[in-house]
Amino acid sequence: MTAAPSLAPEAEAAGFRLVGLDSTPSTMDEALAHAHAGDPGKLWITAREQTKGRGRHGRSFASPRGNLFASLLLINPCAPQIAPQLGLLSGLALHDAVAAVSGLSAPRLLLKWPNDLLLSGGKLSGILIEGHQLTTDRFAVIIGAGVNLATAPEGMPYPTASLSAAVGPVEVDALAAALTAAMAHRLSEWDSGRAFGPIRDAWLARAAGIGGPVSVRLPEREALGTFTGLDASGRLLLDGPHGREVIDAGDLFFGSGSARAGSAG
């Protein structure tokens, strides 16, 4: 264990805690171990590097030193069926945090459905949400984020970006503290899902691709159409040749085909 970044005062006042590690296979796995050990939640796990980081669908996630790797464990944050809203909330909080330390804002810094942060069209960060029903009355949500601060991965099938290339060096600990503050604020605003409307509206105000052509890769097919917004629960609204579709999850691509840039990681 090494000296941890500090929680923002707002996060500490709201009861959040933080464990800082030098190296770990995965902050997500560390958070899950704490959950199984009975941790009450509101626990941040950060690491200087990950040796077995992972992204959506089990994809490997490069985790070199100089970038931010953090996971937040929440216990019973809401009813399990509305936990997907936490993906949009987390993206919004990350946008808040990056904006706070960099001075960047929309349209240069945008959110991509369901849970990516884009900088000038390149993927700056991805968020991974996992839910675990630990017992009949204990539901864990783990929110993981990796942010390209110092470096961005090369050779990816979509554009990538690093914050340092855009604004110069940014301290990992400064962004970590800003993220703990932003998450505390957005979770309080969300109120366990009772007030998703303001989160949805704020997310849409920072959204990439609204009103333009997109394709969404689904398990059984690819859906094409115009990205018209989000429904009241955060699902993507796609106006296609056969009418409006409401999509719970998928890989979003800007443009009319999956060969275009912008795949979700």
In a domain, 1, yes or no: no
In a domain, 2, yes or no: no
pTM, two decimal places:
0.91
**Amino acid, single-letter form, for residue 14:** A
How many Å separate Cα 17 from the centre of its chain? Answer: 19
In tens, the pLDDT along 123-154 reads 999 899 999 999 999 999 999 999 999 999 88
**CATH assignment at residue 169:** 3.30.930.10
In this structure, the answer to whether residues 176 and 237 fall within a common structural domain is: no
In this structure, the answer to whether residues 59 and 152 fall within a common structural domain is: yes
**CATH assignment at residue 230:** 2.30.30
Instruction: Provide the residue count of the chain.
Output: 265
Distances (CA, A) of 96 to 3, 6, 115: 25, 18, 14
In this structure, the answer to whether residues 178 and 98 fall within a common structural domain is: yes
Domain count, the chain: 2
CB atoms within 10 A of CB 126: 22
How is residue 235 annotated by DSSP? P
Rounded to whole angstroms, how far apart are CA atoms 162 and 139? Answer: 34
In this structure, the answer to whether residues 179 and 101 fall within a common structural domain is: yes
In a domain, 4, yes or no: no
In this structure, the answer to whether residues 217 and 249 fall within a common structural domain is: yes
In this structure, the answer to whether residues 217 and 199 fall within a common structural domain is: no
In a domain, 239, yes or no: yes
Query: What is the Cα Rg of the chain in Å?
Result: 18
Which residues span the domain enclosing 183?
9-204
In this structure, the answer to whether residues 218 and 155 fall within a common structural domain is: no
Contact 74, 45 (CB under 8 A): no
Position 74 confidence tier, pLDDT thresholds 50, 70, 90: very high
In this structure, the answer to whether residues 75 and 198 fall within a common structural domain is: yes
CB atoms within 10 A of CB 162: 20
In this structure, the answer to whether residues 242 and 112 fall within a common structural domain is: no
Contact 170, 101 (CB under 8 A): yes
SS3 category, 234? coil
Tokens of 142: 């783990």
In tens, the pLDDT along 216-258 reads 999 889 999 999 999 999 999 999 998 999 999 888 998 865 4
Question: Residue 246 burial (CB < 10 Å; 0-12/13-18/19+)?
Answer: exposed
How is residue 240 annotated by DSSP? E
In tens, the pLDDT along 38-60 reads 999 999 999 999 887 665 545 55
Position 158 confidence tier, pLDDT thresholds 50, 70, 90: confident
In this structure, the answer to whether residues 88 and 120 fall within a common structural domain is: yes
